[in-house]
Structure 1
């Protein structure tokens, strides 16, 4: 969103001084601009670096070539692509309060933004299904969820997200019926893709349906995992052995479920404000102040940097893999077959 002033002002700055109908530019002090660039630049680098580590770790270490981890790598790829293609331009738009890259690239940029965000939602939904079967039916899981099945899930997630996002934005279906409002809010130097009520409702459903699916599955998963933990504890007490292979695998699986569950909760926290703002704008003629809208958008972007931090806190194998990658040992020695699991 870009702020337009209703009354002309001789001292006002424009995004394009020599172009009629140019947007007004908000003047920030040098200190605020520099601070904003530093903060947003750090967030972008954190998103790129963390998710790149996840992708390299899972791709390089053979022990991590599991269906679940391949889905996690694809999720990290979506977040990495967001940081690479969307965040740098969004940073400039936020600080400069102008869009300098043209209308066509604005639509392309917005389409990519939607694609990566929907891809993340669908990936999380598929990961929850994967974990549900792994915990509730561990004997059938290796037969049902193989690497090719994960590949199929990934293909569906990416294809749906890209086709849906680009088709809405580039066909103009998003602003059908609200052209007068779009024209009133538009100016040269803005990049605001508005959505009518129909597409907002549909997009909200595409967020809520996977969201409630994930919540329902994880509620069942945690109940089953808790029951299994009690059974293992009872069996361990009876056999006086608490460190069998099945116990270690069971602990690792339950820890994986908790970690991914935390990632899902983080996703809900970071995405809920944006969903509320978008719905409010669609039904109340876009009343959200531009600065508030941009802050909410960047709060949502922050979710792409959070997942690698969650993995580093709760996955010992990820910390171990990062040490190998950062120390460049993988370039000197063949570490692809090393054991990353300490339990």
Structure 2
């Protein structure tokens, strides 16, 4: 999108012909935004590292569910380390300074990590469904081998699709995204308008419809089982019920994570669906804002674990005590 600058035109590369135009924000805007984006990246990286370290350091936490959580934390961590810093520079400087190949590679990694997050959440919802609906068969069915297979399929499928969309010829698929631009210093990545409605329908609405349906069933079943356990506890207290209570807490927390994911990503996805219908009239600035709102999901996930999971708080306190002895 060409943007006219009232007070003189600046370029990404002043010495090169065909350079993209550049908009320079005032320092009063750039500095606070740099501080905000940098702080967000630090919280994302630090928070997800804490979740990963906590799971790795305690054998009792190395369960099939937490393997999925660990893998999702890896995706969030890579998003904060690899994807967000270049996007921060491009968003504030309005130029891409890292070359054409890195533009395509960056967009591919972006798509891969976004797809991986959705697929991991889907796998986690399936895991919780099995734990609540079939608690006696859960450990036999949801084994470490099964979970590792789910994780591998999620990553491999996400990577294949992410890199195929970007590096495949743009004329082979009209809905495929193109990262080629007509000027030097520009880069159209995942968060641009010509991605294709079908992509978001397949990798967003269908998985989230599945997750919503599963969690609705889990919610109904969990209420029934909780009432049953409550009646049993009136007569006799059994230690075996602690496992069921833990499953309910884990299900509730993971349900909150899915809800936060919906709040962060839905506005951006809806914007991409509506934009082609209204002739691509949605401002580019709105896309960037919604992009960063979506990225905040990777920051909220470890915060949710810190506040809603007692196992995280207790184990993290133990790690802090060990570190400061």
Structure 2 length normalisation: TM-score? Answer: 0.92
CA distance in 1 between partners of 2:272 and 2:319 (Å): 40
Q: Which stretch shifts more, 22-31 or 107-116?
A: 22-31
Residue 139 of structure 2 corresponds to residue 142 of structure 1: yes
Counterpart selection for 1:24 from 17, 21, 34: 21
The answer as to whether partners of 1:57 and 1:321 remain within 8 angstroms in 2 is yes
Q: Deviations over 1:150-183 (max 9, x none)?
A: 100000000000000101100134884489x988
C-alpha distance in structure 2 between counterparts of 1:135 and 1:18, whole Å: 64
Runs of at least 5 residues in structure 1 that lack an aligned partner in the other structure: 333-343
- Find the aligned partners of 2:305 and 2:295 in 1 and give their Cα distance: 18
CA 178–261 in structure 1, closer or farther in 2 if over 3 Å, else same: closer
Q: Deviations over 1:27-79 (max 9, x none)?
A: 21112111011000000011101111111111221000100000000000000
Cα distance in structure 1, aligned partners of 2:150 and 2:293 = 28
Which residue of structure 2 aligns with residue 297 of structure 1? 291
Q: Which runs of 5+ in 2 are unaligned?
A: none
Trace 1:5-44 onto structure 2 (pairs within 5 A).
5=3, 11-44=8-41
In the alignment, structure 1 residue 92 sits paired with structure 2 residue 89: yes
CA, structure 1 residues 122+331, in 2 after alignment: closer, same or farther (shift >3 Å)? Answer: farther
Q: Distance in 1 between matches of 2:118 and 2:187?
A: 24
SS state at 1:219 partner: helix
Distance 1:195 1:161, change over 3 A: farther
Distance in 2 (CA, whole Å) between partners of 1:290 and 1:115 is: 23
C-alpha distance in 2, partners of 1:72/1:59? 12
Is the CA contact 1:176–1:196 (under 8 Å) kept in the aligned structure 2? Answer: no
| C-alpha distance in 2 between matches for 1:10 and 1:94 | 20
1:191 aligns with 2:187: yes
Aligned length: 322
Equivalent position to 2:269, from 268, 271, 275: 275
Q: 1:177 to 1:148 in 2, by over 3 A?
A: closer
- Do the aligned residues in 2 keep the contact of 1:175 with 1:195 (CA within 8 Å)? no
- The answer (yes or no) to whether the contact 1:168–1:174 under 8 Å persists in 2 is no
Q: How far apart, CA to CA, are the structure 2 residues paired with 1:10 and 1:196? A: 30
Higher RCO (CA 8 Å, separation ≥ 6 residues): 1
Distance in 1 (CA, whole Å) between partners of 2:214 and 2:248 is 14
Please tell me whether residue 203 in structure 1 is matched to residue 197 in structure 2.
Answer: no
Rounded to whole Å, the distance in 1 between the matches of 2:262 and 2:167 is 28
Quote the Cα distance in structure 1 between the aligned partners of 2:313 and 2:175: 50
1:325 aligned onto 2:323: no
